[in-house]
Amino acid sequence: MNTNLVDFHKKHNVLVCVDSDGCAMDTMDVKHIECFGPKIIEVFGLEKIEDAFLRLWNELNLYSMTRGINRFKGLVLSFDVAYERGMDVAPFKALKKWTEETPELSNRALKQAYEASGEEELKLGLLWSEKVNEAIGNLSDVDKPFDGVKEGLKAISQEADVAIVSSANTTAVLEEWTRHGLGEYVDVLLGQEAGSKAKCIHDLLGFNYRENQVVMVGDAPGDLDAAKKNGVHFYPIIVGQEEMSWNRLKQEAFPRLLAGAFDASYQEMLIAEFHAALESND
């Protein structure tokens, strides 16, 4: 499995992009509940409002229309909403400005921004993210692919190129997919360090895939947004219905993609179903 486009070689005219956490890998809940949230409490000293803040963090990052938001944007959003709800926090300024202006939402880019500015907010944001990565690395035997993922990827990889397009740490994604035997069905992995999901899809389209035979498979609104920005199809993995979603991808949606029959009415139906599932949790 390549981890950059320099070594990537196109094999098919059809491209399937797949998100990792919460889409292919059943890792999203445990990472947020055991790593992302608790490390915010630790780094930013929010022990007095721990329970309320962690409920808010999980609400925004797991169970609403902002599910799957980039970790740094999620951090900024959570502090904004916590402040609006009267919790004892101050909204970020420097970190928010960085998330709005940086072309790369990664530890590497944040470290460079901190070293250039000396802003304390950026230092704390980086420390939090590094501690999250360390905590995720220490998780053991809790990650696994959803039922239907391996079978789906195996079938898809025989007739399409497969790219992981994830906002997660590349090293963690590579380790997880390799350990569970999914790597053999993937042609390239584009993680956090490769840029936004929209940028990654844009870069992949540079290999001249047929425009009506590219799909982004994801579980979050950010995946849909990345697909829309590039004019490609979107296939949702519905929260709580992951096995059904993967079986339908293999048996129905992917054959439609191959046949050029992934039409507008089918896409609208999928998006409506996707929105309804997330909005029911708001």
What does the pLDDT look like over 203-235, one tens digit per residue?
A: 999 999 987 999 999 999 999 999 999 999 999
Q: What is the largest CA-CA distance in the chain?
A: 57
The whole-number pLDDT of residue 168 equals: 83
* 8 A C-beta contact, residue 70 and residue 100: no
User: Could you say which DSSP state residue 183 is in?
Assistant: G
**Which pLDDT score is estimated for 281?**
57
Per residue in 139-154, pLDDT tens?
866 778 999 999 999 9
The residue written with tokens 């029959």 in the block is 261
Q: Of 53, 58, 59, give the one whose Cα is nearest residue 34.
A: 58
Lookup: tokens for 119: 């802003």
Question: What's the pLDDT score for residue 167?
Answer: 85
HSE toward the beta carbon, residue 106, CA cutoff 13 A? 19
Q: What is the pLDDT of residue 4?
A: 87
Confidence at residue 246, expressed as pLDDT on a 0 to 100 scale: 98
Query: Which residues, listed in sequence order, are joined to residue 161 by a DSSP beta bridge?
Result: 15
Amino acid at 261: A
Give the integer Cα–Cα distance in Å for 102 and 90.
Answer: 22
Give yes or no for a contact between 184 and 30, defined as CB atoms under 8 angstroms apart.
no
- For residue 82, give both structure tokens: 């916590």
Query: What is the pTM for the complete model shown?
Result: 0.79
* Percent of the chain as helix, strand, coil, to the nearest 5: 60, 10, 30
Q: Which domains does the chain have, with CATH numbers?
A: 15-27+144-279 (3.40.50.1000), 28-138 (no CATH)
Give the pLDDT score at 183. Answer: 94
Among 25, 50, 29, 48, CA closest to 39: 50
Residues of the chain with pLDDT under 70: 140-141, 280-282
